[in-house]
Amino acid sequence: MEAIHVVDYGLRFPSGRLGARDGTNLVVLHHTGGAAGEDPSAAEIDAAHRRLGWAGIGYHYLIRKNGAIESGRPAYAVGAHTEGANGESLGVALCGNFCAEAPSAVQIEACAMLLAVLSAAFGLAPDRAHIVGHRDLAATACPGDALYARMQELIGKAGWYREQ
């Protein structure tokens, strides 16, 4: 499997505010939404989520438009991305509003590589039972039609990368 590089901004979380997940049964894909073309960093999303009173960024990983993968909430911690599933899932967000634009080709490849690494690390099959869109678990348009339509492609690529 190819190595991936995850940028770590060293985001710090308040002591005692992040509980540990019970396990990892799912990876939930999101888009950041907002205006088409926006490409916020994990640090910017962290600041926005703190303004909402959260402990920090709710996603575990963020994939920028240029394919860079940034760390968010620590992988051991309960996320704040999908109500009802945060205790058993990792949240991966791709920058963009995929109701209004398409993910970039490099985002798709980076996401597939990250899904391969996460599925292997947490013992999950790279399939639709374990890799889902936010809308599969909640009444939302997230991760947008343009990304959701590519879920099976992402899963296929993740399986391929995992076998390398």
Per-residue pLDDT of the chain (164 residues; tens, 9 = 90+): 556 778 786 777 766 678 888 899 999 999 999 898 999 999 999 999 999 988 899 999 999 999 999 999 999 999 999 999 999 999 999 999 999 999 999 999 999 999 999 999 999 999 999 999 999 999 999 999 999 999 999 999 999 999 98
- What's the CA gap between 27 and 20, in Å, rounded? 16
H or E stretch at 27: strand 26-31
Checking phi first, is residue 130 left (phi over 0); if not, alpha (psi -120 to 50) or beta?
A: alpha
**Domains in the chain and their CATH numbers?**
25-163 (3.40.80.10)
Neighbours of 137 (CB within 10 A): 17
What pTM does this model have? 0.93
